[in-house]
Structure 1
Amino acid sequence: MIRTGRAEVDFDAVRAEFSLPSSFPAAALAEAEEAVSRSGGDRPDLTSIPLVTIDPPGAKDLDQALCLERTSTGFVVHYAIADLGTFVTPGGALDTEVRRRGQTIYLPDGNVPLHPTVLSEGAASLLPGVVRPAVLWTFTCSAEGVPTAVEVRRALVRSTAQFDYRSVQESFDAGDPHPSVAALAEFGPLRRALARQRGAIELQLPEQEIESNGEGWKLVTRPRALVDSWNAEISLMTGMAAASIMLEARVGVLRTLPDPDVEAVASLRKSAAALRVPWPADVSPGAFLAGLDASRPDALALFTDATRLLRGAGYSAFSGSVPEAVTHAGVAAPYTHVTAPLRRLVDRFATEVCLAVTAGEELPSWLAEALPQLPSLMGASDSVASKVERATLDQVEAWVLSGRVGQEFEAVVLRSGENEAEVFVSAPPVLAKCAGKRLPEGERIRVRLDEADPVERRVRFKAV
């Protein structure tokens, strides 16, 4: 049980610190309620496609539904995305509010949604067993997993089942996956192999998650199942296809990340050599990292050091000409966000660009006017979301450890400085600072908890 000295263990202080909204303006709510009755207009009925969703347990804001088919020549992938463009009136009160919010902010005791829940968990969500307006991406792919044809259109769809990652992984492990995703076990690895060939960079750092223990909160790490990565490849493929559509039309908004600079790669190579982890000269950073065993302490240290390779992410809006920098180093290709419009503002606008371009239509004026605003809107909301996530983790780490000052723990040194290091303690899973001179990166050491302050949200260790 978390001992905090407080009657409540909520995150109201975090909400107040970052001025997170507690409700929607009345006019925005009224627009959302009115939008529920919309049918989505005249669009093809594709409810015969047996789509399914894969999300965290209990999720209600379901952005994506998929169905994969193995064919004699390759694969057909259907990927339905919630169609927020049907529900949000450009320039209206709801549009104004969601632009202000930018994205859904997740906290352990309740989210701050981008859209009112009547939409995000109701009329716009791809919940099972109900007909929904959606934007359907259909990919015809070769036997190697490469798209040879891409179609994007509005349609009516119906998800046939709602799954979570663990249950889907268990079905694959048991040899009895749902027919709509059975081909994922073949298609996913093909796409991951293509990503490695491109030089995509993926960091397999431990994912800290906060769960309720009935009386407070606890920290856990969720191992990433194969299904997680296979499913992510479908979203990445869609974002890459959307970026290609935009670049060909010379209009849109990209998610960009500059290539790693020479010094960052050199630093990572130096760390690998110090840890005696082989890295052949002709192997790219992405391929090197993909070959590491994420369970090893030296791999954790290298993944931490590799975060320096992925700095400078942003958004680039363009019209009439292509920007100089168009790629995302993590994906190793041009990329944009289109697959999570319930939770992220930019996806709705990027999707509307793709729909207009593929239909051979001019962008409506409201869309063309909105594009230049998106980089700053998303940059601001990304900053808030990142700070809120770190604050909630810091808070729970301090709560969990507040009664254990003076105790010793086993830790892995992730990154070391002159007098302080960053360490990962596995039980409970905590990332924190640790005092000590030039601690050995990638090695297990004993540390003593010197401070766990729930008020300041601060945890500090000292090397024993």
Structure 2
Amino acid sequence: MPRPKIAVAALPPWYPPAFEKLTADLQAPVAFPSEVLAAAERAGAADVGDRADRRDVELVTLDPETSLDLDQAFAIETRGAGFRLHYAIADVAAFVRAGDPVDLESQRRVETRYAPDRRLPLHPPELSEGAASLLPDVDRPAVLWTLDLDEGGELVETRVERAMVRSRAKLAYDTVQAQVDAGTADPAIERLRALGELRLAAERRRGGVSLPLPEQVVDVANGDGWRLRARLQTPVETWNAQLSLLTGTAAARLMLDAGIGVLRTLPPPEDDAVAELRRRAHALGFEWPAGQPYPEFVRAIDPAAPRAPAMLRACTTLFRGAGYVAFDAAGGVAAPADAEHAAIAAPYTHVTAPLRRLADRYAAEVCLAVCAGAEVPEWVRAALPGLPDRMREGGRAVNSFSAEVLNLVEAGLLAQRVGETFGGTVVATNNDRSSGTLVVADPYVEAKVEGPDLPLGDPVDARLVTADPMTRQIRFAVGAGTTVKKG
């Protein structure tokens, strides 16, 4: 979900009351209590303590254009035939103390929630968009990772320390991608490309995989109203994501070696699930050779192919069961026997988005202590056992909020078009194919569809039956007066 800031006057008339009802229905945390805001203001003005001076490192941030909650800044150097990555992460623990009002509120929120016109942040804006954010041309406390890689993009050394840093520039994905396409990108971005491609190749060697699913984007256009469209991740975003994944795997190694930490896990798919996916691929007309591993099959799917949306949606069935696992060998809780994240094909943890996700603050503290040869802080050790449950429940609430916001926007944009017929593709069905999920290309909408013998993967004409932003209900029907398109 993009994060634009827009004037209230630009909001569609159906949006404010529907959004207010949504937050009430989901009990979403909107305003911060006054004592939390006051505590954040005090924390933002406090001394952040002694730390290494690394303001000489030429760091930049790379995010959506409107983002102000900047968790990460990077600088990449060549190192012989390999690379050295400096990766600065916002040091939230420099401002938030265990048990203080900001900490207690973050335990309730767990993650930042996004809507088209606003954020419901994990931390008050005084911190998340101010004192703790890695904004350009200002000194900021950070957790600074220094990762050395060989010529194959494999990690050979990890160091992490508390430091004072200074970002040189706030770069935006779309602008940088345009520069890459035009051949005018800065050398720092060319190094990002080289390292990103090396890490993608390493991912392939490990057997890791990511799904190229389009995301639903709400465009907020000046004077032209709101629009829903599909958006695929750009190459620049893919390279940038590899920096975060690399740091997460480095952090997981530190934790496992030390016998304490919290991992992000995903179990491998069951054989029956893979066999079912093979049958679905055959039914949809996709060739999946008997000896081809699942990750290579996914990488071979052209997202623009006619039946690709249905195939990619089916692939998500193998990415279920993600969670967190905490361990502390000294406290009698050993690390899991299978600590691997199946999609990454390596142990992994969340450590690079502490402004937006609760678990990252704790993971960073473990890694800092391990690298310094110090004891893990007691407040971290005490919180680890309950952290997986807190993240699981918070993640469910955030996912529900995101889905309902999209439902609200879809319903609002379609409310005046009930009764019209739209072209779309059925990307999922129930067992008797009487209901499922329809994707409409323009506007890019995913909604419930009903009808007899729904044709999975094929284009259809579907009539819009319901679109109500207050209830966030959208429903299409294929049947009398609609057709299945052939060819």
CA distance change for structure 1 residues 5 and 143 in 2, over 3 Å: closer, same or farther? closer
CA distance change for structure 1 residues 204 and 131 in 2, over 3 Å: closer, same or farther? same
Look up the match of 2:396: 383
Aligned residues, how many? 463
Shift of 1:173: 1.2
Percent identical pairs in the alignment equals 45
Look up the match of 2:351: 338
User: In structure 2, how many angstroms separate the alpha carbons of the residues matched to 1:168 and 1:450?
Assistant: 42
CA distance change for structure 1 residues 115 and 264 in 2, over 3 Å: closer, same or farther? same
TM-score when scaled to structure 1?
Answer: 0.96
Shift of 1:66: 0.7
- 1:388-407: CA deviations, max 9, x gaps? 11101111111111111222
CA distance change for structure 1 residues 142 and 121 in 2, over 3 Å: closer, same or farther? same
In structure 1, give the amino acid aligned to 2:181.
Answer: D
Shift of 1:10: 5.6
1:209 paired to 2:224: no
Are the aligned partners of 2:365 and 2:377 in contact in 1 as well (CA < 8 Å)? no
Shift of 1:6: 4.5
User: In structure 2, how many angstroms separate the alpha carbons of the residues matched to 1:10 and 1:17?
Assistant: 10
1:353 paired to 2:366: yes
Are the aligned partners of 1:62 and 1:82 in contact in 2 as well (CA < 8 Å)? yes
Shift of 1:203: 1.7
Look up the match of 1:143: 151
Aligned counterparts, 1:78-227, within 5 A:
78-214=86-222, 217-227=226-236
User: In structure 2, how many angstroms separate the alpha carbons of the residues matched to 1:364 and 1:3?
Assistant: 46
* 1:286 counterpart (288, 295, 300): 295
Shift of 1:373: 1.5
Shift of 1:438: 3.0
User: In structure 2, how many angstroms separate the alpha carbons of the residues matched to 1:203 and 1:11?
Assistant: 30
CA distance change for structure 1 residues 12 and 211 in 2, over 3 Å: closer, same or farther? farther
User: In structure 2, how many angstroms separate the alpha carbons of the residues matched to 1:86 and 1:6?
Assistant: 41
Structure 2 unaligned blocks of 5 or more: 1-9, 483-487
Shift of 1:11: 1.3
Are the aligned partners of 1:52 and 1:180 in contact in 2 as well (CA < 8 Å)? no
SS of the counterpart of 1:181? helix
Structure 1 unaligned blocks of 5 or more: none
User: In structure 1, how many angstroms separate the alpha carbons of the residues matched to 2:53 and 2:200?
Assistant: 32
User: In structure 1, how many angstroms separate the alpha carbons of the residues matched to 2:44 and 2:316?
Assistant: 42
Look up the match of 2:455: 440
Are the aligned partners of 1:134 and 1:157 in contact in 2 as well (CA < 8 Å)? yes
CA distance change for structure 1 residues 381 and 7 in 2, over 3 Å: closer, same or farther? closer
1:45 paired to 2:56: no
SS of the counterpart of 1:297? coil
* 1:317 counterpart (307, 317, 326): 326
* 2:43 counterpart (4, 14, 35): 35
Shift of 1:191: 1.0
Q: Which runs of 4+ in 1 moved over 3 A?
A: 2-10, 213-217
In structure 2, give the amino acid aligned to 1:205.
Answer: L
SS of the counterpart of 1:96? helix
Are the aligned partners of 1:413 and 1:422 in contact in 2 as well (CA < 8 Å)? yes
- 1:132-177: CA deviations, max 9, x gaps? 0101111111111111111111111111111111111111112122
Are the aligned partners of 1:219 and 1:428 in contact in 2 as well (CA < 8 Å)? yes
User: In structure 1, how many angstroms separate the alpha carbons of the residues matched to 2:307 and 2:450?
Assistant: 20
Look up the match of 1:423: 438
- 1:271-299: CA deviations, max 9, x gaps? 11112211122222122111211111322
Shift of 1:342: 0.3
- 1:162-202: CA deviations, max 9, x gaps? 11111111111121222322212221122112212222231
Are the aligned partners of 1:416 and 1:438 in contact in 2 as well (CA < 8 Å)? no
Shift of 1:4: 7.9
User: In structure 2, how many angstroms separate the alpha carbons of the residues matched to 1:297 and 1:69?
Assistant: 42
1:461 paired to 2:461: no
RMSD: 1.8
SS of the counterpart of 1:278? coil
User: In structure 2, how many angstroms separate the alpha carbons of the residues matched to 1:6 and 1:433?
Assistant: 21
Does 445-454 or 226-235 show the bigger shift?
445-454
User: In structure 2, how many angstroms separate the alpha carbons of the residues matched to 1:115 and 1:5?
Assistant: 29
Are the aligned partners of 1:4 and 1:402 in contact in 2 as well (CA < 8 Å)? no
Does 434-443 or 51-60 show the bigger shift?
434-443
Are the aligned partners of 1:3 and 1:403 in contact in 2 as well (CA < 8 Å)? no
Does 399-408 or 368-377 show the bigger shift?
399-408
Are the aligned partners of 1:51 and 1:180 in contact in 2 as well (CA < 8 Å)? no
Look up the match of 1:450: 465
Look up the match of 2:410: 397
In structure 2, give the amino acid aligned to 1:289.
Answer: V
Look up the match of 1:56: 64
- 1:363-421: CA deviations, max 9, x gaps? 12111101111111111110111001110111111111111122222212211332112
Shift of 1:220: 2.1
Look up the match of 2:26: 18
* 2:307 counterpart (298, 303, 325): 298
Are the aligned partners of 1:253 and 1:318 in contact in 2 as well (CA < 8 Å)? yes
CA distance change for structure 1 residues 407 and 428 in 2, over 3 Å: closer, same or farther? same
Aligned counterparts, 1:229-308, within 5 A:
229-308=238-317
Shift of 1:430: 0.4
TM-score when scaled to structure 2?
Answer: 0.91
In structure 2, give the amino acid aligned to 1:51.
Answer: L
Does 244-253 or 31-40 show the bigger shift?
31-40
User: In structure 2, how many angstroms separate the alpha carbons of the residues matched to 1:136 and 1:6?
Assistant: 45
User: In structure 2, how many angstroms separate the alpha carbons of the residues matched to 1:67 and 1:181?
Assistant: 10
SS of the counterpart of 1:410? strand
In structure 2, give the amino acid aligned to 1:324.
Answer: A
User: In structure 1, how many angstroms separate the alpha carbons of the residues matched to 2:467 and 2:38?
Assistant: 45
Does 30-39 or 266-275 show the bigger shift?
30-39
In structure 1, give the amino acid aligned to 2:270.
Answer: D
Shift of 1:334: 0.9
CA distance change for structure 1 residues 182 and 9 in 2, over 3 Å: closer, same or farther? farther
Are the aligned partners of 1:113 and 1:343 in contact in 2 as well (CA < 8 Å)? yes
User: In structure 2, how many angstroms separate the alpha carbons of the residues matched to 1:127 and 1:185?
Assistant: 23
